[in-house]
Amino acid sequence: MKSLRKTSAVLDCFTRENSRLTLAEIAERTGLPKTTVHRQLAALREIGFLVQDGRRDAYRLGFRLLALGGVVLADVDLMRHAGGPAGTLAGQSGEAVHICVFDGRNVVSIERREMEGARNEIVRIEREPPHCTSTGKAILSTLDDVARDLLIADLLEGGSLPRFGPNTIVDRVRLARDLAVCRARGYAVDDEERNPGVRCVGAPIRRHGTVVGAISVTGPAARFPAARLPVLAEMVMATAARIGLNLER
């Protein structure tokens, strides 16, 4: 408990006016010994809650911490406003629909709708890596290059992204190209990249221009031929836009 209080004290030092702080400045603000602050900073940096700016030995809040805060807000709002449009999309497409948010490392499914109760049990998801899912790629494609590259670097294992099947994109350069395509057309496709035999089409959900999550339709590849993907994409993007409007009201 004492350690958590120290962690909280360190994080509380960061404000809009003081977004970058040195170890000495944090020690002064918290009243903690520099050795204790150093340990706290090292631990927070390791899990992505803080990022170190080597140019002046300063620290700032990391993207993962900010993303977790976004999960809390998006979770509450999306659960309230996305259910109706998601149900409509499930009825229109006949496929499973997922509403997801991003926790800074994985996409987290917070809502699932489908027309027929057990039709897509094979593709049930809870928490998934972003580089091989349509919702994850839809969200990643909206990030600026710096944030995107930091996240991809965090996912690397031995120089490659985790592989889940023969179609998984494991090369960061190829993934960057795929995300550029996703950004240009407004939707992402998981072409059996997470689960062999399963395809998904996803689009980002925005509120006042800020991405707060993503929505996808998911089903067996046999029901997702190439000719059907643009049709599903139009449905998904229209639903994402509808949810975004609901969030802005």
76-111 pLDDT per residue, tens? 567 778 889 999 999 999 999 999 988 777 888 877
CATH number for the domain whose boundaries are 2-61: 1.10.10.10
User: Is the CB of residue 118 less than 8 Å from the CB of residue 133?
Assistant: no
Helix/strand/coil for 87: helix
Question: What sign does the CA torsion over 195, 200, 206, 209 have?
Answer: positive
List the domain boundaries for the chain. 2-61, 67-248
pLDDT score of 197: 96
**Torsion over CA: 78, 81, 87, 89 (sign):** negative
CA 234 to chain centre: 21
CATH of 67-248, one of 1.10.10.10, 3.30.470.20, 3.30.450.40, 3.50.50.60: 3.30.450.40
The rounded distance, in Å, linking the Cα atoms of 222 and 207 is 34
Hey, which bits of the chain come out as E strands?
A: 21-22, 50-53, 58-61, 96-102, 107-113, 127-128, 188-191, 198-207, 210-220
Instruction: Report the distance separating Cα 127 and Cα 226, nearest Å.
Output: 26
Tell me what pLDDT residue 17 has: 76
Is 114 within 8 Å of 95 (Cβ atoms)? yes
Give me the pLDDT at residue 49, please.
82
- Residue 138's alpha-carbon distances to 25, 49, 175, 184, 216, in angstroms, are 39, 23, 12, 11, 9
145: Cα within 13 Å, side-chain hemisphere: 4
How distant, in Å, are the alpha carbons of 49, 63, 72, 174, 246 from that of 23? 15, 20, 29, 38, 43
Which pLDDT score, from 0 to 100, does residue 80 have? 77
Average pLDDT value for the chain: 86
- pTM for this predicted structure: 0.70
Q: Give the C-alpha separation, 92 to 231, whole Å.
A: 11
Q: At what angle do helices 34-46 and 23-30 cross, to 10 degrees?
A: 120
Report the alpha-carbon distance of residue 182 to residue 23 in Å, rounded.
Answer: 40
The two domains 2-61 and 67-248 share their CATH topology (first three levels equal): no
Cβ pair 20, 53 in contact under 8 A: yes
Q: Which residues of the chain are under the pLDDT cut of 50?
A: 117-125
Quick check: helix, strand or coil at residue 38? Answer: helix
Q: What is the pLDDT of residues 153-181, one digit of tens each?
A: 888 888 899 999 999 999 999 999 999 99
